Amino acid sequence: MLAIGTHAPLLNAKDHHGKEVRSEELLGKGPLVVYFYPKDFTPGCTREACMFRDAYADLDGHGATIVGISMDDDASHQRFAERYHLPFSLVADPKFAVARAWGVARPLGLGAWRVTYVVDRTGVIRGAFHHEISMSKHVSEVRDLLEQLKSRAA
């Protein structure tokens, strides 16, 4: 896992709609929430994605952009996003290049650890949350951190 206070790696990829996802552009709008998860349609990953979906308006209200990343391909991401009405980008990382750069690749090609990063507008990691079982903590800790960042900026 990458350390809090370090610069996040650049994220340049296409999402499940073929739209470019570039961290440099997204950070111009506000904080970036990047969450890595093991696999589309599994119970835990579905629950986590739906929690981010349900908190989307609140997180967006803090200026945050959410991006989910797993090893699944674009077709799987598209079905997953459509079935669960996910309003944020999902990025395919089948070769684990992004997961490795962000320090979350599991050994033996077993996907990514369930890790969520919050990156501030300057590209610095302000939060790193790793909970394999308690998916709800990802969203609550992200929300709390975004509120803290917003109050510090005021």
Active site residue ranges:
45
Cβ(11)–Cβ(27) under 8 Å? no
What letter would DSSP give residue 138? H
Q: What is the DSSP string of 80-117?
A: HHHHHT--SEEEE-TT-HHHHHTT-BPGGG--B--EEE
Burial of 26 (0-12, 13-18, 19+ CB in 10 A): buried
